[in-house]
Structure 1
């Protein structure tokens, strides 16, 4: 089960070594049958647990958001407070069920720029719940939407009041009304007629009234606000602030600060656009708020650096308070250096002390109090270094893999090709490095990663080959497939449980 600790640098957390986890398959949603062709719109493009871990949201390329809810807590009468007091290491089998789905975004066309805007969901972020309603943000390339999902009672007509007693009562009312009306003669005189007792008269039909009931409940998703016209480039990330009132959105060159209640105005807090676009050397790839300090946020760049900024310093935060980047080894620069150094995702640890970053080749763990270099480095794709030319040819080298941390900070995880994902232990003395396949029977693999690449980057040909392969083998002889990739995954906030997306399927594992 353990793949050794190759590429593991200094320990990230102090304390005794934590024993490796034994991962087990839990559930799968949207499983494909053998030979079934997957529609492009069904491929999952975003995953996010809410703060309690009781709800999970996924977004797909078709612009839909699907919500799942935890059922094993309700079924067994568990309470959230009891669960928070439980030991984190206790193995529990989480069970989720489909809750609802809604169409979040539709394809659009920007007539001013003659650009088609895809409906694909780039990111989903949960907001604070209130009065039993769920709130979340979802975004495509240009538009952010704020959704409220709430149970509403469905009113429907279940029956007519055809009860005999009710009929008699209605008949009495009708007869009394009819009896009170007096016929008039042609000359205007009133013809008096004896009024019979209404209670004894049954010759009038019953007045039927519908009975409306509201017993059933239905989940209704309503778009509360639309935040638009604030980004010239594609939105790559959104992040909620711990104050519960604001959030940020980031594209290649700018980061905007929004108030949840105000959709027609945002504040530009970071702008890296040069006066002359020819001088552009790096772009913003991801941005995230600190989990507890509402004045701090971090953003990563295509050059492999992470900048920590403090909103208290100035309104425009173009100057960072801290810069985290790893120095290049002398003589190691090549054609691919900047491409593989680009950070595709960053995540703050739950305690806010560490930042996890994912570039194409590795995971890096940073201590925000130590900007000299990462405290731990985990090699994920080192065995692909000899194939960088092929990866460039088929555009796989530009794939953006996400990363996540466990709630206790003892482990980190990320995805890879062939629908594999990797879990590393980052506590002191840990050698945990497990590779699993997203399937009902997760096959544990030991991917041997050499300390040094078999070929130096300098020896790679500058003239790139055409017709590159889509498949190959790692250093241990295991075949891998560039066409299947596990890009999106999320760790449960308080348990050892992982949700990951392989194409249109959502797999869940626990340990």
Structure 2
């Protein structure tokens, strides 16, 4: 497959072939031996709906925006470029701007430090050439507007020295920027009065600068609204509704519904907090709105279940319309069962038909019309099962890996250790299972695993007992580094392009 070609598959044409991934770009690449600062580590990645903008958030509370450039070099839309047969080698992005979204805070009532780390970023509908997005740390959500503004410059003085009769009238760029049009006694050349003139006689020596607007522009990020004081626990998710007006925010025990224009109140739509906290058995781990129906949303739990709720049923969604969970295999329970079953991330497919979930060991694909079990299970960390004790001791077992789907829904991806990430084909009959490394040579560790993902729990058990892989190694027998992990990644909404974060570096790949 040539670089940049999309793997378009028509119905009945059979499973797509495996993609050949290539390195595209890297931002913030580390030099050998460079020590990465904690505040520079990327903690969130998000493409906008068009795919022309990409946002990243880091642990220092900053949001960095990138914009696509290869579709602008020749003018016109991407489709126009394709029709004109321009040779676009691969998607190219450039740094656009950055701003400080959150600052560290201290809750004096609870004696609690609130980190500035950005947990999630979500793009909102752009308007009049301005970009809008919401970002959140553990407690506070902010709504940002990023727009280009013309730069105002100080140029000439308001009085022509050769005609210095002297009143020191103050020029306004809305009137004129030419100093020759100002005359004495507070009058303009056209006879209009200057409202800012000094008393008759003036001060001959006083000369004031004229501020004019130039054609140069600068990007300005402005916080439009702050949504605060609505969560007692750490916010783990925010998600926009398809109506373009509302969004949800979720913490461990509650999900709140907000209107973008109203920052001083929200509606609590899900509350799983028991009357007695000792009775607490599970917490909310991730939540997302349906991409098409604004009345539907899904949230996952630490017990490995996904609940689909309908906002039309009641104001407080205590009951779910559908529950998706995989039945436990008798005799397979262990100390780690619940820990590794906890879902760290869920994503809807673009058409809203499927939900992709990521737990510690696997990726699971669920059909929202079938709640008996996942339609496919993809093994990500099965080779780590013999090392669960060590992973528990060093807290790696609690790492929260994200997942993503391609725009056409034919592939899914998620991260792993040693800055590896995996891409699986989900089309019927597909055997695609590719492992890549976040580096300039992603194919260095690529391994094709021609194994059909299976729903059968017995087949999963057989994989576990096979024991063909050494503990702490990947499926290519390479030792894994648990200090380097690829937690965050995003798939371009319309093309086979992936952005992923390895510490402070943003790597981009295409196929």
TM-score range, shorter chain: 0.7 to 0.9
TM-aligned CA distance change 1:98 to 1:36, over 3 Å? same
Contact persistence 1:434–1:444 (CA under 8 A): no
- The structure-2 alpha-carbon separation of the partners of 1:62 and 1:172, relative to structure 1 and needing over 3 Å to count, comes to closer
Moved more, 249-258 or 436-445: 436-445
Q: Report the equivalent of 1:275.
A: 275
Q: Deviations over 1:363-402 (max 9, x none)?
A: 0001100111111111000000010001101000000000
Tell me the residue number matched to 2:107: 110
Which residue matches 1:446?
A: 447
Structure 2 match to 1:186: none
Aligned equivalents of 1:23, 1:454: Cα separation in 2: 27
Tell me if the contact between 1:300 and 1:307 (Cα under 8 Å) persists in the aligned partners.
Answer: yes
Give the drift of 1:150. 0.9
1:62 alignment partner, SS class: coil
3-state SS in 2 of match to 1:308: strand
Which residue of structure 2 lines up, in the alignment, with residue 199 of structure 1?
none
Instruction: Point out where structure 2 has 5 or more consecutive residues left out of the alignment.
Output: 2-10, 169-182, 186-202, 452-458
Check whether the contact 2:384–2:472 (CA below 8 A) recurs between aligned residues.
Answer: no
Q: CA deviation at 1:479?
A: 1.3
Task: Say if 2:291 and 2:351, in contact at 8 Å, map to a contact too.
Answer: yes
Distance across 2 between alignment mates of 1:377 and 1:455: 14
> Could you tell me which residue of structure 2 aligns to residue 477 of structure 1?
477
- TM-score w.r.t. the length of structure 2 is 0.84
CA distance in 2, matches of 1:85, 1:135: 30
Structure 1 residue 344, shift from structure 2 partner: 0.2
Give the aligned length. Answer: 458
Shift of the alpha carbon at 1:158? 2.6
Alignment of 1:96-107 (within 5 A): 96-107=93-104
1:194 alignment partner in structure 2? none
Is residue 432–residue 448 contact of structure 2 (8 Å, CA) maintained in 1? no
In 1, distance between residues paired with 2:76 and 2:184? Answer: 60
Equivalent residues of 2:422, 2:434 under 8 A apart = yes
Give, in whole Å, the separation in 2 of the partners of 1:72 and 1:232.
44
Say whether the 8 Å CA contact 1:295–1:311 is kept in structure 2. Answer: yes
Contact 1:291 1:351 in 2 (8 A): yes
Partner of residue 298, structure 2: 298
Residue 334 of structure 1 corresponds to which residue in structure 2? Answer: 334
Q: Is the 8 A contact 1:240 1:248 kept in 2?
A: yes
Measure, in 2, the Cα distance between the counterparts of 1:14 and 1:350.
21
Q: For the residues of structure 2 that align with 1:265 and 1:100, how far apart are their CA atoms?
A: 31
The question of whether the paired residues in 2 share the 8 Å contact of 1:306 and 1:323 is answered with yes
Query: Aligned partners of 2:233 and 2:399: how far apart in 1?
Result: 19
**C-alpha distance 337-91 of structure 1, shift in aligned 2 (>3 A):** farther
Which residue of structure 2 aligns with residue 211 of structure 1?
Answer: 210
| Alignment match, 2:254 | 254
Q: 2: CA distance between counterparts of 1:391 and 1:400?
A: 13
Match of 1:21 among 19, 35, 51: 19
Give the distance between the partners of 2:510 and 2:492, measured in 1 at CA.
9
Distance 1:380 1:84, change over 3 A: farther
- Of 37, 46, 66, 1:68 maps to 66
Q: Secondary structure at the match of 2:385?
A: helix
Equivalent residue for 1:234?
234
Quote the Cα distance in structure 2 between the aligned partners of 1:303 and 1:208: 73
Question: 1:41 deviation in Å?
Answer: 0.4
1:86 deviates by 11
- Is residue 320 of structure 2 the alignment partner of residue 320 of structure 1? yes
State whether residues 353 and 368 of structure 1, in contact with CA within 8 Å, keep that contact through their aligned partners in structure 2.
yes
Distance in 1, Cα, partners of 2:105 & 2:205: 56
Offset at residue 44 of structure 1 (A): 0.3
Tell me the CA shift for residue 156 of structure 1: 1.3
Residue 91 of structure 1 deviates from its aligned partner by 8.0
Distance 2:305 2:417 in 1: 25
2:136 paired residue number:
139
2:378 is matched with: 378
Question: How far apart are 1:263 and its partner, in Å?
Answer: 0.6
Q: Partners in 2 of 1:350 and 1:14 — Cα distance?
A: 21
Question: Aligned-pair distance for 1:161?
Answer: 6.6
Alignment map for 1:362-401 (pairs within 5 Å): 362-401=362-401
Kept in 2, the 8 Å contact 1:269–1:315? The answer is yes
Unaligned ranges ≥5, structure 1: 2-12, 179-203, 460-470
**Contact 1:168–1:206 (Cα < 8 Å) also in 2:** no
Task: Provide closer, same or farther for how the CA distance between residues 401 and 44 of structure 1 changes in structure 2, counting only shifts above 3 A.
Answer: same
Cα separation, 2, equivalents of 1:245 and 1:169:
58
Alpha-carbon spacing, 1:484–1:172, altered in 2? closer, same or farther (3 Å): closer
Asked if 1:123 is matched to 2:120, the reply is yes
What is the rounded CA distance, in whole Å, between the counterparts of 1:429 and 1:41 in structure 2?
A: 44
The 1:447/1:429 distance shift into structure 2, 3 A limit, reads: closer
The higher relative CO (CA closer than 8 Å, separation ≥ 6) is in 1
Q: Paired residue for 2:6? A: none
1:58-93 CA-partner distances (Å, limit 9, x unpaired): 000000000001111111223156479999xx9851
Match of 2:90 in 1: 93
Asked if 1:158 is matched to 2:155, the reply is: yes
- Find the partner of 2:40 among 36, 39, 42: 42
Task: Give the CA RMSD over aligned residues.
Answer: 2.7
Whether the aligned pair in 2 keeps the contact of 1:414 and 1:423 (CA below 8 Å) is yes
Q: Is residue 355 of structure 1 aligned with residue 352 of structure 2?
A: no
Q: CA deviation at 1:456?
A: 5.9
Partner Cα separation in structure 1 for residue 376 and residue 464 of structure 2: 24
SS in 2 for 1:387: helix
